Amino acid sequence: MSKSQLTVILPVRNGEKFITAAVASVLNQTFKEFELWVLENGSEDRTAHIVRSLKDPRIKLFELGSVGVQGALQYALENAPTEWVARMDADDLMFPERLQTQLNFIQKNPEVVFVGTAYALLTPFGHVFEPPVTSGTREVTRELLACNHRFFGDPTVVFNRHAALRAGGADFDFPRVDGVPLLFRLLTQGRGWEIAKHLHLYRVRPGSLSRGNDHLEQAYRVRLKYAPEFTKAEPREIAQPSFWRFITKLEILSGDIKSIRRAFHLRNQEEPWRTREKLLLLYSLLDQFNFWHYRGRYRRRRDWEKIFRPLLDLDQKALPMAARENSYTNISSLGTIVGHQMKKKTAARIPSLTVILPAYNAEATIASAIASTLNQTYTDFELWVLENGSDDRTAEIAYSFSDPRMKVFELGPVGFQEALKYGIENSSSEWLARMDADDLMFPDRLKTQMEALGREPELVLVGTGSAILTPFGHIFERHASGPSRGVDTSILAKGRNFADPSVVFNRRIALEVGGFDAEFTSGDVPLWFRMLKQGKGWEITEPLHLYRIQPHSMSTTKNAYAQGVRVRSKYSPQSLVYWPDERDPSSIWTLIATLELLAGDGRAVREAARVLDHDDFSGIARQFRWLSYLGRAGYFALQYRHRRRRIYRHRPDWEHLFAPLLETDQKQKSHQCDNSLFTVSNSNLRNGT
């Protein structure tokens, strides 16, 4: 877009508490060539004085008197100097890239007369929530507007001013519904679209224009006027849903006890017949049960709260009137001061690699997994922790890290596969690295893989060998079956040396082949099969990934094996001769007991045997108990009896290398971990290599 093709209009009345933050968020857009028209209409507070104190040449203040929102909108339509006009409310905030995204879309679609975006919610307690987007970017129809099935909000719209004037401009029949009548009129002049990306922060508050029964009644009359064929008959009196009931449910999801109590108190004032102070605790528990469906619909976004924190601090501070004068004068340079943190996210260079780490109920191991990733010798990456519906402290522990390369996304209970899909679809990096929440990385893993990708441009994925970590803290090296080699679908089907969470793969190729196969609920192998049809794979036999054996992990279940057989029957049926239909009945504890024999830890062998007894493998358990008293000799006796070659080697040096991180896991189990441990882990891990 060229210069002077956009005017942002911001109607305001009595908005002294929020106007500073709203203006600052507009001035900090990545798109710079616009004018901001603040349309003050009859304020009785210091709104106009505050706007005049903001010394940005793009701001123009118009004191229109008590003309109302529709009068302010019509004034802008008739007098704005640009073809395109962007809506903005005085109590909302813009994401830094909102205007740029909308104008780019308009450039590519000349027939568009308006385009809106999805929006996030800001509660009165400063918590930000991401509502669901019901579909992808799509065209807006009259039916969509009439049935209120859209996900964009009125103040998110950029529209064509000339088309609005041809359609008749603002509709003064509906003074409480400022946006929808104009949108219906614009659809007579062209096409409307909504972008499925959250680019606007909508402030939910009791006194806003969109709250109240008169607003709902007028909205119903708008639909009757402009789309009667899509409007159902409604009762004459339309009851406004409880505001504080909705806020209470969101705050329960946030987990902020202080905010929950305050919301309940205000809800009790709003609905005294429903809630009583002495029953608040019981009501809270009931709301928790009723609120589970909200977890799939709304999720708290602490990362967005962090981005907007400088602006939210402006309207949260209760400054004395005498001190406000200087405060407003000082923040006239918000475009360079407050906006710095907002723009930092979008202005930063896109890293070449994103590590995606799905996590579910992983509080015991997530800290060490994150620390081992952040301590890589390769540093040009960002780490995405994809928390998906945990019931424990996983998200809290992840947020305790302050490394700028790390981002936490609370996706709700979407499952492992959907979490990985989110990472693939939303990351901007060329390469993605897999990582599990209970595993660890050797410090040189990412560096080694990226060097291999640099040498072989045709590679689409690179995996590495894995060492094994038992539940008793012993580490073992598995002998590779050969040197590093290329990987194709036949090797993937018959047997490979690399593990799924050790892979670095090309994001573009993953999207081109359709991403994960929805037919299978776990594992990455279907994606690897698809990608290897588009390019070449490579496996590095050197162990650069530490795989933690956990009895109940996804990859050790009988169902996982059966699903692996189904994957091969679909993508490589000729390889099924190497895979029996059913796995021999055994327990993962058999492998654990065997490895602990090699380590010479008799106590661990007997503990594994006790679990085998509990799992109805009493004969095998008895054998391991006898062998446990022989120490390491018991392992060699077992190998000789079954004529097995030695494929594992105990590595005490690696145990010493990872000891600080494994100690962190133990402290997390007792909630005694502090962030100083991560610093110790970092230095020890590097020194060990």
pLDDT digits (tens, 9 = 90+) for 70-82: 889 999 999 999 9
Domain ranges of the chain: 6-230, 243-290, 350-578, 588-650
Whole-number pLDDT of residue 322: 28
Is it the case that residue 1 has pLDDT exceeding 50?
Answer: no
Residue 580 binned pLDDT confidence (cut-offs 50, 70, 90): low
Q: Max Cα separation, the chain?
A: 95
For residue 263, is pLDDT > 90? no
Please choose, from the candidates 432, 392, 390, the residue with its C-alpha nearest in 3D space to the C-alpha of residue 415: 390
Task: Please state the pTM of the whole predicted model.
Answer: 0.53
pLDDT value of residue 215: 59
The answer to whether domain 6-230 and domain 350-578 are alike in fold is yes
Is the model more confident about 412 or about 401? 401
CA 658 to chain centroid: 29
Q: Is residue 420 scored above 60 in pLDDT?
A: yes
For the cut 90, the answer to whether the pLDDT of residue 284 exceeds it is: no
Does residue 465 have a pLDDT over 50? Answer: yes
The predicted pLDDT at position 491 comes to 84
Query: Taking a C-beta distance cutoff of 8 angstroms, is the pair 13, 43 a contact?
Result: yes
**Model confidence at 131: pLDDT above 60:** yes
* pLDDT tens, residue by residue, 327-355: 333 343 444 434 444 444 444 468 999 99
Q: What is the Cα–Cα distance from 454 to 436, expressed in whole angstroms? A: 25
- Spatial contact of 604 and 596, defined as CB atoms under 8 Å apart: yes
pLDDT at 494: 76
pLDDT at 158 (0 to 100): 96
In 141-212, beta strands by DSSP E? 158-160, 191-203
Q: Look up the CATH number of domain 6-230.
A: 3.90.550.10
**What's residue 295's pLDDT?**
47
Name the residue among 54, 95, 45 with its Cα closest to residue 200. 95
In the numeric block, the tokens 């009125």 are attached to 154
Question: Quick check: 461 and 452 in contact, CB under 8 A?
Answer: no
Helix (H) or strand (E) run with residue 441 in it? strand 440-441
- For the chain, give the mean pLDDT: 79
Please report the pLDDT score of residue 111 as a whole number.
93
CB of 382 closer than 8 Å to CB of 407:
yes
293-320 tens-digit pLDDT: 444 578 888 889 888 888 887 664 433 3
Count of residues for the chain?
689
Is residue 677 over pLDDT 70? no
Q: Is 444 helix (H, G, I), strand (E, B) or coil?
A: coil
CA 46 to chain centre: 39
Average pLDDT score over residue span 30-51: 92
Identify the CATH number of the domain defined by range 350-578: 3.90.550.10
Read off the pLDDT band of 156 (50, 70, 90): very high
DSSP code of residue 556:
G
Is the pLDDT at 238 greater than 60, yes or no? Answer: no
